[in-house]
Amino acid sequence: SLFLPNQGNTVLNFRIALGPAGVRAMTIPVDIDNSIAGWVFRNNKSLIIDDVQHDQRFFVTVQDRTGYKTENMISIPLRVKNSCVGVIQLLNKINGQKFTESDLGILELLGAQAGMAYEVAGQFKTVQDENSILRSRMQYGGEYHTFLAHSSVMLDLVSTLDDVAHTNISVLILG
């Protein structure tokens, strides 16, 4: 699963939830202050938990509402520039096995790649949004056009250019 915080950093929301109960889990907000994922988010540290049912941080609401019993888990922070921006969590290793330090190392490597992708995606979205705003301003006469179009200096220059454009004379405009 992938969890991302809400704007106030009070709740973690599922953004990806795979597995037998994933679809049902997607609508359940996870309390940041009373959950394993929240602990990972707040402390920016990874965890391996062999017996989730006896961990006081376990947020049982997800299990109760989905019917999927969690035995063990591995959770890592999703980081951008060493700051935690989300949590990646894997549940119930296959065949009742426990998660290992090797599993943790592999997941942290994948998490580092995911963090970089998350950062680039955020930057791309920012550029797209700014581009959209500028295009809209240009198309619908935002403040840049209005300011320039009504400037007496610019109106004089446009008038001069209009007069000169219809001649074969070379003109040097200074100023």
pLDDT score, position 20: 87
Q: Which residue has the higher pLDDT, 113 or 135?
A: 113
Where does the pLDDT of residue 110 fall: very low under 50, low under 70, confident under 90, or very high at 90 and above? very high
Q: What is the pLDDT of residue 95?
A: 93
The predicted model gives 88-111 an average pLDDT of 96
What per-residue confidence (pLDDT) applies to 30?
96
Q: What is the pLDDT of residue 157?
A: 75
Sheet containing strand 30-31, strands side by side = 30-31, 11-16, 2-5, 83-91, 73-80, 47-49
Summarised one tens digit per residue, pLDDT across range 69-99 is 999 999 999 999 999 999 999 999 999 999 9
Q: What's the pLDDT score for residue 46?
A: 98
pLDDT on residue 156: 79
Predicted TM-score (pTM) of the model is 0.74
Per DSSP, the residues of 20-78 read: TTHHHHTT--EETTSSHHHHHHHHT--EEES-GGG-TT--HHHHHHH-PPP--EEEEEE
Tokens of 155: 């109106």
Q: What is the mean pLDDT of residues 115-126?
A: 91
